[in-house]
Amino acid sequence: MDKALAGIRVVDLTNNQAGPSCGQMLAWLGADVIKVEEPGKGDVARYSQKDRDRPDADALFFLSFNANKRSLTLNLKHAGGQDVFRALLRTADVLLENFGPGVIERLGFGYAAVRELNPRLVYASIKGFGSYGPYRDYKSYEPIAQAMGGAMSVTGFPDGPPTFTWPSIGDSGTGMHCVIGILAALMQRHASGQGQQVEVSMQDAVVNLIRVSLRDHQRFGRVMERTGNQLGAGVPGTTYRCHPGGPNDYVFIFVQQQMWHPLLRAIGRADLIGDARYETPEARGRNRAEVNRLVEDWTAERPKHDVMKILGEAGVPCGACLDTGEVLTDPHLLAREMIVEVEHPVRGRYVTVGNPVKLSASPTTIGPSPLLGQHREEILAELGYSDAQIRALAADGAI
């Protein structure tokens, strides 16, 4: 069975997370993603000391964002390595890069130069602030993108500072936006026969993801404040402590008006149906503390999974706050192959995240990330290089 992107070749020059997450999604969807890395070093994520858990294997961080790819080592500062890279680009459908401002242009592979080599190529760039605008020369990382995109200003509790959130909306969020752009450009190429440049900045991606807060600013005519776990004006609409009271023994419950009576029945408080103090959203808003107390009096006596089951079966939206260990063993995620085991040639078996995009005619098989340069000879042979030529390039430091 062909994969959705079978026949599409992606040259992935990226490091760390934003770019590699984009390349990995394309690989999961069936593209041949060739990760081009510096000889002897490779993606810094392979060996970053802050992420490395064992000295003899690539870091789990690297494995999390480079599954299903092939690895080719090239010295892009070496004339021979540049020749190989040009040959590779002539066979490619997509080039993906996330170098710092001006770096790829100085190497001689800016969009104008690459378009001369292959006018059908989709040239995708991920930048902190993009290639134009007042901040174009500034570097960025995940928390910088969250700060500059406005996300930190609306995250946290009212009496605390702007707060960084661990879900990588700046890195992986940007990577997924870039996937969309690449797929759109490939579709347009079917009609035009021409590639184009795709650019996504980390700041832009975060702004797109906080558009509800920006809408509220315009609705209310003021800067949006941090509200902790309270979701809008809905009551109940926050976290509630569960038994036995550990740091993650919480559920999130959100009730719209039609769910208020089912909630009261589920928690054994049908006697409050029709009580004017709680019967409308406005009344519950005025008596928020009382409503939250009566809900938590019930949740605090039960484990979070029991609370979720009882309320879920009653038609009331409720989610247990899963810790990382619970996510890795969650039966629903296992059934949906969102948590999978992969065999790695050095590590052996390890657990990783699967593909969240489910295609009925193109199911994803999650493979391991490549060892550094693992597919060098294989890829160069595909480009027409002989064994002798490959040995000469290696001896000269080009690959």
Q: Tell me: the pLDDT tens digits for 345-363?
A: 999 999 999 999 999 999 9
How far is the CA of 192 from the CAs of 8, 184, 195, in angstroms? 17, 12, 8
Answer for the pair 34, 24: CB distance below 8 angstroms, yes or no: no
Catalytic residue list contains 171: yes
One domain for residues 296 and 354: no
Say what the pTM is: 0.95
d(CA 121, CA 194): 7
d(CA 271, CA 107): 73
d(CA 396, CA 399): 8
One domain for residues 15 and 59: yes
**What is the domain count for the chain?**
2
- The mean pLDDT of 93-104, rounded to a whole number, is 95
Q: pLDDT digit string (tens) for 245-288?
A: 999 999 999 999 999 999 999 999 999 999 999 999 999 999 99
One domain for residues 257 and 383: no
230 within some domain: no
How far is the CA of 196 from the CAs of 94, 111, 180, 230, 319, in angstroms? 10, 9, 14, 43, 43
d(CA 125, CA 22): 11
Helical (H) or strand (E) element with 207: helix 202-209
Considering 12, 171, 204, 249, which one is annotated as catalytic?
171
d(CA 226, CA 66): 35
Residue 98 sits in a domain of what CATH number?
3.40.50.10540
Residue 307 sits in a domain of what CATH number?
3.30.1540.10
Q: pLDDT digit string (tens) for 105-139?
A: 999 999 999 999 999 999 999 999 999 999 999 99
Instruction: Please tell me whether residue 268 adopts helix, strand or coil conformation.
Output: coil
d(CA 114, CA 110): 6
218 within some domain: no
366 within some domain: yes
